[in-house]
Chains A and B, each alone.
Chain A
Amino acid sequence: MGKERIEQRFTEKLANGEKLFIPYIMAGDGGLDVLEERIRFLTECGVAAIELGIPFSDPTADGPTIQKAGIRALKNGTTLAAVLEMLESFKTRREVPIILMTYINPIFHYGLERFAEACVRAGVDGVIIPDVPLEEEDLIAGFLRKNGIAFIRLVALTSPKERVVEIARRSEGFLYAVSVMGTTGVRQHHDEHVKAYLQTLKDISAVPVLAGFGVSNGEQARDLGAYCDGVIVGSKIVDLFNEGKIKEIQELIEESLMTRSKA
């Protein structure tokens, strides 16, 4: 459970020569009832873990797709408490690590320590909080550590070397490499220097490095994945679920995980 479960699963996959694929889905988008089914489906697609977004009224790190998904989820009455309860109800039926992604205010309001403890009960393995930088993380890091929940840190293209080193040193489970300048959302391509950035992170980080933000198809996933340990795909998957294009999600994941015929 928790941090160890992520480490174990990632280590196994990487040892098998597989890349790691993490899809992002918005909890409560389409109703909380579909959550178990979506998680099962993604598990069958061979994902390494699932990043589960908790909607927030002011998601400043997110682009239009996830903003809209958040609004749909909030309109459905989705709350952090309800998601944790739902996760607890089928935790014995899950095989992949669950990583919650939300902003600090809903957690702060729920209670920081109470949240960390509830994560354990709900079978949550890791947490990503995009609006808590290094300088502010003491607010919550201790509670997560005490409860064995992986606190996954984000590093950005603007982070200078010394910050990268410190963030990578602290990150648990994996290091989340934000690979665009800006918010989440589909991009046509990534700048060439992103590859050098990922390569640098790989050299520095003791935990696996995954590229996220702007990754939306198999080709991009393989392209960036070649320079790190895998990718996180959010907006595209959120869109496909919303449009009911389940088969395309499966194809996207398969294409992303195809072994790259390397020269």
Chain B
Amino acid sequence: MPELLMPALLELEEVYETAKNDPAFLQQVEYYLKQYVGRETPLYFAEQLTKKLGGPQIYLKREDLNHTGAHKINNTIGQALLTLRMGKKKVVAETGAGQHGVATATVCALFGLECIVFMGVEDIERQKLNVFRMEMLGAEVRGVSSGSGTLKDATNEALRYWAAHVTDTHYILGSAVGPHPFPLIVRDFQSVIGKETKRQIVEQTGKLPDAVVACVGGGSNSIGMFYPFIEDESVKLYGVEAAGKGVDTNLHAATLTKGDVGILHGTLSKLLQDEHGQVTEAFSISAGLDYPGVGPEHSHLHETKRVTYEAVTDEEALDAFQFLTKTEGIIPALESAHAVAYAVKLAKTMSSDETMVICLSGRGDKDVEQVKSRLEGR
């Protein structure tokens, strides 16, 4: 990270360390998560899906039912409250699918903060609805055409903007990546997913799940889901990356599966890069998974093999998108459809006395138009 941003990062670390031990702050976060976001989200027993697959008992953690339609708001509520604590009035954010952008624009509207969201032009094209939502919420959406015009480039531009405005602006980073303390803050605010799941599954089945599946781009919903289960060794954890057109092509976003160690956006982690250390462009049908890096904690969990990371292709995700929609009447986000796609495969190896949780990180309304044109062109 440039020196210019270091004092702000150190300040953020200090403010966060105090806040997370301040009962009043935690109560405030909890209040908004309950009354505004609508938590807790259900852990829904997917009976039809379970029957159809004939394997384990499958439960869906319904993050899609959060206000704004995805898990992203768990983090933006927390970080907006930190912004207020730091006395800053402006917020900058990056977004891929637009879910984090919408969640940021939403909390900025709620707390009266000015908001600028950087979004790749490619993503603006595939997520027009979310762009409109952000604008309706009072945010300014700035298109980024450098590089591949996706999440990585939006992050570059958000960092540049932040450097120029750091004295009065907080950067609400949405994924479990970026410089310290962001991966930690995002994990902590997203851990509500795993904490609730753990309590709910025990309430409903009397035991911990045998398998937990979540999709991984930068890795915010998955680290939030996995973190409370890390010490529970009987629970198998599966992170699902985007294989795009296939991990053996150049068109994928499977960072842990195919990348190697590098440093991007202040994170030492796995990275998609060429043999000269130039970061390569990620590719996925899902804008939210289209990032060539991954959170450092995932990199660690990959190394220690505590979490198994797999990758599913665009086609498999599209099939799962339709399958879940028809089977359960739930339209998943294309990101979450990757988790569903792998869960379908995994279910075949499990028995009916076992349980599996899928993190349904977001709803698919935003993707309907894109899926429609993909299916018509298939």
Contacts and interface: CB of A to CB of B under 8 A. Distances in A.
A6 B147 CA distance: 36
B6 A108 contact: no
Given A74-B278, A106-B278, A60 B160 contact: yes
Interface stretch (B231-239, B261-269, B304-312, B315-323): B261-269
A81 B4 contact: no
Contacts of B275: 109
B7 A158 contact: yes
Interface residues of B, number: 33
A102 to B, nearest CB: 9
Contacts of A158: 3-8, 166-167
A16 B257 CA distance: 59
Interface residues of A, number: 40
B112 interface: no
B251 interface: no
A167 to B, nearest CB: 7
Contacts of A24: none
B307 to A, nearest CB: 25
Given A57-B147, A80-B277, A105-B263, A133 B152 contact: no
A81 B277 CA distance: 11
A251 interface: no
B2 A58 contact: no
B10 to A, nearest CB: 9
B6 to A, nearest CB: 5
Given A58-B152, A58-B156, A104-B263, A155 B163 contact: no
B142 interface: no
B1 interface: yes
A133 B6 contact: yes
A29 to B, nearest CB: 15
Interface string A162-192: 0100010000000000101111000000000
A183 B160 contact: yes
Contacts of B160: 60-61, 63, 182-183
Nearest to B293: A58
B301 to A, nearest CB: 22
A60 B277 contact: no
Interface in A211-257: none
Contacts of B271: 105
Interface string B331-364: 0000000000000000000000000000000000
B279 interface: yes
Contact of A60 (B7, B8, B156, B276): B156
Contact of B3 (A63, A79, A80, A178): A178
Contacts of A157: 4
B279 A57 contact: yes
Contacts of B152: 58
A156 B4 contact: yes
Contacts of B266: 131
Given A80-B277, A106-B277, A134 B6 contact: yes
Contact of B6 (A107, A135, A180): A135
Contact of B4 (A80, A105, A181): A181
B258 interface: no
A21 interface: no
B294 interface: no
Given A104-B263, A108-B263, A154 B279 contact: no
B156 A160 contact: no
Contacts of B197: none
A183 B6 contact: no
Interface string B24-50: 000000000000000000000000000
B262 to A, nearest CB: 5
B164 interface: yes
A121 B166 CA distance: 40
A156 B167 CA distance: 13
A60 to B, nearest CB: 5
B198 interface: no
Interface in A198-215: none
A67 B147 CA distance: 10
A131 B163 contact: no
A30 interface: no
B175 interface: no
A133 B3 contact: yes
Given A60-B159, A163-B7, A110 B277 contact: yes
B201 to A, nearest CB: 40
B6 A163 contact: yes
Nearest to B4: A156
B273 interface: yes
Contacts of A8: none
Given A163-B7, A182-B160, A108 B2 contact: no
A153 B1 CA distance: 13
User: 5 closest Cβ contacts across the A-B interface?
Assistant: A109-B277, A182-B164, A106-B277, A156-B4, A79-B276
19 contacts: A56-B277, A57-B147, A58-B264, A60-B156, A60-B159, A60-B160, A60-B265, A105-B271, A106-B278, A108-B262, A108-B277, A154-B2, A158-B166, A159-B7, A160-B7, A178-B3, A180-B164, A181-B163, A181-B164
Given A58-B152, A163-B3, 6 more contacts: A105-B264, A105-B277, A106-B278, A156-B4, A158-B167, A182-B160
Interface of A: 56-61, 63, 67, 74, 79-81, 104-110, 130-131, 133-136, 153-160, 163, 167, 178, 180-183
